[in-house]
Structure 1
């Protein structure tokens, strides 16, 4: 009985495909192009009828393919979100470093002005101001380097997560190919 149902199903699919082919051949061609104008709804109906006759396995494969696409889109959205957050954090760190640098420079300038009153004090103040500026620049460079290292670390995490997602997708594709 099951074999008979399969043969009936195969016959119906073949009949629909023949109908599809007959319709394609019956439509007039557009001059000089060889293309035809078709009734879209007619062909969509035939294709839907064929799809309804296909076994559940084919429907599951279509569903799995749609799920795969959704997973890829979600992974891309997550990756973009992570990258955007990393850029925002990098900007915040750089702004904080710049603000800190400005505060240190202002503090150094104020300190230098206070010490300019006497010659020796002036010389010492000038020397100390240079040290403070050098320290501020060194700290700013260190903060800037830290921000870049943090951004690099976040990007590496994104890359790792994306590779995991891609690996999962590849494994899903391989599983799908086993069902062929």
Structure 2
């Protein structure tokens, strides 16, 4: 405890002792205390209090400021991450490759459709089967590539949010240490 706190506590204990040891007025249960002495002790307590109140107010203000800063940092980081994710998804090589592959598959399908119309039933069945295998393989590759890319993006987001969470915890620890 600080000296000020000890002095206030000692003064309040002294006031309590004055009341407890004061002579009692019969029947009423009231006590008679030395008004002058009692008021002097109260004045001493009042003289100590303003510094403590200012310090407590400062601590509360700092706590609110630090928490406010942490909340702003969190919101800012969250917005940045969402924007980054949106851009990565839109501009990601996997998405671009998917569009190219889709166009290739469409072109291949159109070519094969023409061959099917011209060719026989067996030839048509063979081409459709081959096309199905190719599409399935390319679809699996595309899905695998997209999953890997999204896992990387999710990991980056997790790391960024973890970093922000750590900063918030540090601020909380800093507040508790005050």
Q: Give deviations 1:19-54, integer Å, cap 9, x for gaps.
A: xxxxxxxxxxxxxxxxxxxxxxxxxxxxxxxxxx43
* In 1: Cα distance, 2:135 partner to 2:106 partner: 10
1:64 aligned residue: 62
1:79 aligned residue: 77
* In 2: Cα distance, 1:172 partner to 1:126 partner: 67
Contact 1:83 1:155 in 2 (8 A): yes
* In 2: Cα distance, 1:114 partner to 1:140 partner: 26
1:149 aligned residue: 151
Larger Rg: 2
Deviation, structure 1 residue 59: 4.8
CA, structure 1 residues 111+142, in 2 after alignment: closer, same or farther (shift >3 Å)? farther
- Contiguous gaps of at least 5 residues in structure 2: 9-40
1:91-170 correspondence to structure 2 within 5 Å: 91-92=89-90, 93=92, 96=96, 99-100=99-100, 102-116=102-116, 117-119=118-120, 122-170=124-172
Deviation, structure 1 residue 138: 1.4
CA, structure 1 residues 140+146, in 2 after alignment: closer, same or farther (shift >3 Å)? same
Q: What TM-score, normalized to structure 1?
A: 0.54
Deviates more, 1:95-104 or 1:76-85: 95-104
Q: What TM-score, normalized to structure 2?
A: 0.55
CA, structure 1 residues 88+150, in 2 after alignment: closer, same or farther (shift >3 Å)? same
Contact 2:67 2:171 in 1 (8 A): no
1:34-53 correspondence to structure 2 within 5 Å: 53=50
Q: Give deviations 1:69-118, integer Å, cap 9, x for gaps.
A: 22221232133214422541464258646534532431331231354333
Deviation, structure 1 residue 172: 0.6
* In 2: Cα distance, 1:88 partner to 1:108 partner: 31
